[in-house]
Amino acid sequence: MPKLIPAAERLIRARALIQEARDFPPPAEGGKYDFSYVAQVKDLLRQARDFVKFIPQLAGASTEVKADAKRVLAEIERADREILH
């Protein structure tokens, strides 16, 4: 059975994945429109989203943690627009 990760740790990991997506260098040829670059960035952002997407619906999570999770989800969307568009 997989180990449960606390909500606070999920938020930290999601932010780290967002930063990793921002720091991921685009290839010299093709730039940010290279298919593999787009796929890798999208995968990092998907992993970050998967970490936090259910936190706002948890009964045991505090209001602050739920609000922080919503901010992280908004940050993921903003990172997607900034990096790929």
Number of domains in the chain: 1
Domain-located, residue 1? no
What is the pLDDT, as a whole number, of residue 19? 98
The pLDDT-based confidence of 37 (bands split at 50, 70, 90) is very high
Q: What's the mean per-residue pLDDT of the chain?
A: 93
Is the model more confident about 48 or about 3?
48
Residue 8 has pLDDT above 80, yes or no: yes
Angle at the Cα of 77 from the Cα atoms of 20 and 43, rounded to 5 degrees? 45
Asked whether residue 66 is assigned to any structural domain, the reply reads yes
* Residue 45 in domain: yes
pLDDT at 1 over 80: no
2 part of a folded domain: no
For 49, the domain range is: 7-84
d(CA 12, CA 19): 11
